[in-house]
């Protein structure tokens, strides 16, 4: 009987202690999963004559990884969701480049930070590439002229 | 001999594998205890100890069987977490088209003779397939994974029906626009 009471006591104690131990772990994991900033990059792809270039494959790439590729639409517009490496410096994660492919042929590769910002909504801080590539936000760049 | 042992389908039980063997060993342990209890006088210490050892070995085997079964089930479950999406683009120049799977971790695929196949995680409810080639407006098709069957999906582009579709010409490559890099960049997953 004494053993049974002891086991019951231990169980009740763990039921109280359990959530106290587990809750911070859960909160930490939720916060950690939400901490990767995202940059929504939009713009337009045009030829040297200023005509829209649809069907080009665009992607942002760095040594950290590659964003999901997307096609430029009928008016040449595109939108890319770029997951940024959480909390790391640009040096550690490498320079992010915007790449544009004509089918499988690479036509354009320039650092994202070299693109001209048309409008931007940073998550916080100033509207410059250093901040946008660190904290994320929305940014529209000026039309990119492809080829010569 | 107990009646339960007389009509026992030993081969049938052994066909179950190690789990069946464990069951038979447990039954034998019970039989040994039964025999020892049926004797006159006190049970023999040596025999009882031998039965204990026999039961311990049996218990270890049962634990191994249970663990292996559990691990195997988990691995089977993990193996079935993806759904294959097979399709075909009915287009005379299908080989030139790529398909991008939107809603999944970015995948793009060039179709092999119009065919494509991609595995998609089961937890994705819907995704959009976008077909396109350079110089043409891409076209999108929503896909609901719970409506997929084993048969490949057939896609027809809307612009195929329109005869006067103009394709924008490829501009000449400007090598100055392709920045050199010393970093190891992951390639575009066009395969």
Q: Tell me the pLDDT tens digit for each residue of A89-116.
A: 555 568 899 999 998 899 999 999 999 9
B79-88 per-position pLDDT tens digit:
667 788 888 8
Contacts with A147 from chain B: Cβ below 8 Å: 170-174, 177
Which of B101, B157, B167, B171 best probes binding to A when mutated, by most A CB atoms within 10 angstroms? B171
How does pLDDT run across A23-43, given as a tens digit for each residue? 433 443 444 444 578 899 999
Is B29 domain-assigned? yes
Could you give the CA distance from residue B173 to residue B176 in angstroms, rounded to a whole number?
Answer: 9
Q: Are residues A49 and A30 in the same domain?
A: no
Strands A77-83 and A38-46: antiparallel
Six-digit token string for A54: 């649809």
Among candidates A139, A141, A143, A142, which has minimal Cα distance to A120?
A139
Looking at the domain assignment, is residue B181 inside a domain? no
Same structural domain, B67 and B88: no
Q: Show which of B55, B79, B103 is a domain's final residue.
A: B79
On whether both B97 and B157 belong to a single domain, the answer is yes
pTM (predicted TM-score):
0.64
The domain total for chain A is 2
Nearest to A110 among B132, B177, B183 (CB): B177
By the 8 A CB rule, do A137 and A121 touch? yes
On whether any CB of chain B is under 8 Å from the CB of A79, the answer is no
Residue A123 clears pLDDT 50, i.e. is over it: yes
Q: Are residues A70 and A139 in the same domain?
A: yes
C-alpha Rg value of chain A to the nearest Å: 24
Summarised one tens digit per residue, pLDDT across range B99-121 is 888 876 656 666 666 788 888 87
In a domain, B134, yes or no: yes
Question: Residues A101, A46: one domain?
Answer: yes
Contact A46, A76 (CB under 8 A): yes
Burial group, residue A58, by CB count within 10 angstroms (0-12, 13-18, 19+): buried
Q: Single out the residue in B60, B79, B98 at which a domain terminates.
A: B79
Is the pLDDT at B189 greater than 80? The verdict is no
Residue numbers in B near A110 (CB within 8 A): 177, 179
In a domain, B185, yes or no: no
Q: Which of A43-57, B13-27, B148-162 has the lowest mean pLDDT?
A: B148-162
Residues B18 and B7 reside in one and the same domain: yes
ipTM of the complex: 0.71
Shared domain for A3 and A76, answered yes or no, is no
Looking at the structure, tell me whether residues B72 and B93 fall in a common domain: no
Range of the domain at B13: 3-79
Over residues A5-27, mean pLDDT = 44
């Amino acid at each position: 009987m004494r053993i049974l009471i002891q086991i019951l006591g231990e169980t009740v104690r763990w039921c109280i202690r359990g959530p106290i131990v587990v809750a911070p772990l859960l909160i930490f994991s939720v916060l950690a999963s939400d901490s990767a900033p995202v940059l929504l990059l939009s713009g337009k792809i045009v030829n040297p004559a200023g005509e829209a270039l649809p069907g080009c494959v665009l992607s942002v790439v760095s040594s950290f990884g590659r964003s999901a590729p997307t096609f430029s639409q009928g008016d040449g517009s595109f939108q890319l969701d770029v997951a940024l490496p959480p909390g790391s410096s640009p040096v550690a994660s490498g320079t992010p480049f915007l790449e544009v492919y004509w089918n499988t042929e690479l036509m354009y590769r320039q650092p994202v930070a070299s693109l001209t910002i048309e409008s931007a909504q940073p998550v916080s801080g100033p509207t410059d590439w250093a901040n946008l590539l660190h904290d994320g936000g929305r940014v529209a760049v000026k039309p990119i002229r492809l080829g010569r | 001999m107990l009646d339960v042992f007389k009509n026992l389908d030993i081969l049938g039980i052994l066909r179950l594998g190690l789990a069946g063997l464990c069951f038979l060993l447990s039954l034998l342990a019970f039989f040994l205890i039964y025999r020892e209890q049926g004797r006159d006088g006190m049970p023999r210490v040596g025999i009882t100890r031998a039965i204990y050892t026999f039961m311990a070995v049996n218990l270890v085997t049962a634990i191994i069987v249970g663990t292996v079964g559990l691990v195997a089930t988990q691995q089977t479950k993990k193996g079935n977490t993806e759904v294959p999406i097979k399709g075909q683009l009915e287009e005379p120049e299908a080989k030139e088209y790529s398909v991008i799977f939107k809603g999944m971790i970015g995948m793009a695929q060039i179709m092999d003779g119009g065919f494509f196949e991609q595995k998609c995680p089961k937890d994705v409810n819907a995704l959009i397939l976008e077909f396109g080639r350079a110089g043409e407006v891409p076209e999108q098709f929503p896909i609901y994974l719970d409506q997929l069957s084993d048969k490949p999906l057939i896609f027809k582009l809307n612009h195929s029906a329109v005869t006067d579709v103009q394709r924008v010409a490829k501009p000449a490559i400007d090598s100055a626009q392709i920045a050199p890099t010393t970093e190891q960049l992951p390639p575009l997953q066009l395969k």
